[in-house]
Amino acid sequence: MRLMPVTDAMFLVAETRETPMHVGGVNLYTLPDKVDETEWLNEQLAMLRQSEGLRRPFSEVLKLTPLGQYGPIRLEPDRDIDMHYHVRSAALPKPGRYREMFELVSRLHGTLLDRTRPMWEITLISGLPDRQIATYFKIHHALMDGASSMHFTNAMLSADHKEKRSYSPMSVEAYEAYKRKFPVPKKAPTPSLTDLKAIGGFLKEQWGNSVGVTKALNQYAAAMFGLGGSDLATPWGGLPRTSFNRNITGARRFVAQSWSLERVRAMGKAYDGTINDAVLAMCSGAMRKYLQSLNELPDKPLKAMAPVSIRAKDDIDSGNSVAAVTANLATHIDDPATRMATIQASMNAAKAQLREMTAQQIQIYTAITQMPQMLTALTRTADKFPAYSVTISNVPGPREQLYWNGARLDGMYPASIPVDGMAMNITQVSNNKNIDFGITACRRSVPHVQRLIDYLEDALVELEEAAGIKGK
């Protein structure tokens, strides 16, 4: 039995029927030639349903006190896990297009996970054309963030198309095999508190945290109230009200698409920016076009919450290790080059602030600055006091072609969490030569969200033309 950290437990506290707090996504595969599809699917189902040797958190169930989710929460092994409940299969109705797959995923992503069971599910989806199959995976955000979910996905894949694994990707065996790819972290010896130097170091560390966080909070307050002329963007201040800022329902709409990673990188490089800058600019242009189609483009810029991983490279165990920065999306600016420059300035200011803090200081700073948003979520007043317009997240993925027991990985499309006041979430994963976008939105608050796929392409073309480059 282990105690769930408070930072993870907050995702349980914030969850309602309208705001399921799970993350996940769709992986799309092409089966190898001369492999019988039905036989292959049955083999994977049998492998995924192995209940022996499961690792945490897949083997764990919540243990609550009489205070429920508001008291200490522990995780303990589930002695009677039903793997047929957690691992499911679904066949799409003909003609089995991506449209039908996304409709299925939309429905699956809108249902709450059962808290009396380990909080995860996998659905193996068949019925797609051209020998393609898909998996839809979801797990509660209290157990995994995007980066740790990516570690899990990578653990079930291989760069060798001939490799076949008989053990479950949820098993301790899979975890240990994957963990061996990372160097063993060096642990500093724990000093005795009787050592005066150790005591001095401890006090210096605590004082450093206090000073670093105080400085960051002063910068944050100055930017929020327009003092000092900083490019640092903050939530709330001057945020326009749009369709994205409504309270949401429990119904979801999920759509996805891939773009060439080299194409997106080249566009960002043309503006002396990063891939993340390029992605934010694409999303900004797409959201601008979407609001124009609804005749509600505001005169003030939309703002995005951009989660940033502060996880160490060798950390594959932590459930959540994320900070949040604010991106000025500059949607009020017509010129795409000027819009990109404004986005870059806000992100550079945010990154400069984070560079001056340790990981521990960033966590403290994030907890303090995000607390008002948590309060509006708990009181369902986020539509009246919206902090952001949208969440836009970028998760690093595999850099080479990967396979799942011989099936080629074609796409990794993340599905994430819309919340009250932010009715849409856009998350991207870099995958070999592509960057895969997954858009998750409230079905009622963001109608016709599929249009954003076309608008993302339009925005990319617009940015390429403004930079004088041709898309690939």
Confidence tier at 224 by pLDDT (50, 70, 90): confident
Place of tokens 């709330």: 236
SS3 content of the chain, % helix, strand, coil (to 5): 35, 25, 40
Question: What average pLDDT score do residues 61-70 get?
Answer: 88
- The total number of structural domains that make up the chain: 2
Residue 246 sits in the same domain as residue 319: yes
Quote the mean pLDDT of the chain.
87
Question: What average pLDDT score do residues 170-190 get?
Answer: 74
Give per-residue pLDDT as tens, 249-272: 999 999 999 999 999 999 999 999
Residue 97 sits in the same domain as residue 144: yes
Report the share of the chain in percent with pLDDT over 70: 88
Of 129, 157, 179, the residue at which a domain comes to its end is 179
Residue 345 sits in the same domain as residue 452: yes
Residue 45 covered by a domain: yes
What strands, in cross-sheet order, belong to the sheet with 252-260?
252-260, 434-442, 424-431, 390-395, 303-309, 322-328
Residue 153 sits in the same domain as residue 239: no
Residue 220 sits in the same domain as residue 155: no
Residue 131 covered by a domain: yes
As given in the structure block, the two tokens for residue 290 are: 């979407």
Question: Which of helix, strand or coil describes residue 115?
Answer: coil
Choice between 22 and 307, residue whose per-residue pLDDT is larger: 22
408 has a pLDDT exceeding 80? yes
Determine the pLDDT at residue 261. 96
Question: What average pLDDT score do residues 26-43 get?
Answer: 95
Residue 81 sits in the same domain as residue 173: yes
Residue 191 covered by a domain: no
CA dist., res. 108 & res. 138, Å (int): 9
Residue 149 sits in the same domain as residue 242: no
Determine the pLDDT at residue 369. 76
Residue 326 sits in the same domain as residue 383: yes
Confidence tier at 185 by pLDDT (50, 70, 90): low
DSSP assigned state of 171:
B
Report the share of the chain in percent with pLDDT over 90: 62
What does 409-460 look like in DSSP terms, one character per residue? EEEEEEE---BTTB-EEEEEEEETTEEEEEEEEETTTSTTTTHHHHHHHHHH
Determine the pLDDT at residue 309. 58
Least confident of 18-22, 81-85, 202-206, 224-228: 202-206
Residue 394 covered by a domain: yes
Give per-residue pLDDT as tens, 103-156: 999 999 999 999 999 999 999 999 999 999 999 999 999 998 767 778 788 888
Tell me which residue range forms the domain holding 170.
2-179
Determine the pLDDT at residue 207. 43
315 has a pLDDT exceeding 80? no
86 has a pLDDT exceeding 50? yes
9 has a pLDDT exceeding 80? yes
Of 179, 206, 226, the residue at which a domain comes to its end is 179
- Would you say the pTM of this structure is higher than 0.95? no
Confidence tier at 397 by pLDDT (50, 70, 90): confident
**CATH code of 6's domain:** 3.30.559.10
**CATH code of 331's domain:** 3.30.559.30
Residue 47 sits in the same domain as residue 103: yes
Alpha helix (H) residue ranges in 51-195: 83-86, 98-109, 146-155, 172-179
Confidence tier at 187 by pLDDT (50, 70, 90): low
Q: Active-site positions?
A: 141
CA dist., res. 35 & res. 248, Å (int): 44
Determine the pLDDT at residue 203. 39
Q: For the chain, what is the radius of gyration of the CA atoms?
A: 23
Query: With contact defined as beta carbons under 8 Å apart, do 399 and 431 qualify?
Result: no
Residue 109 sits in the same domain as residue 243: no
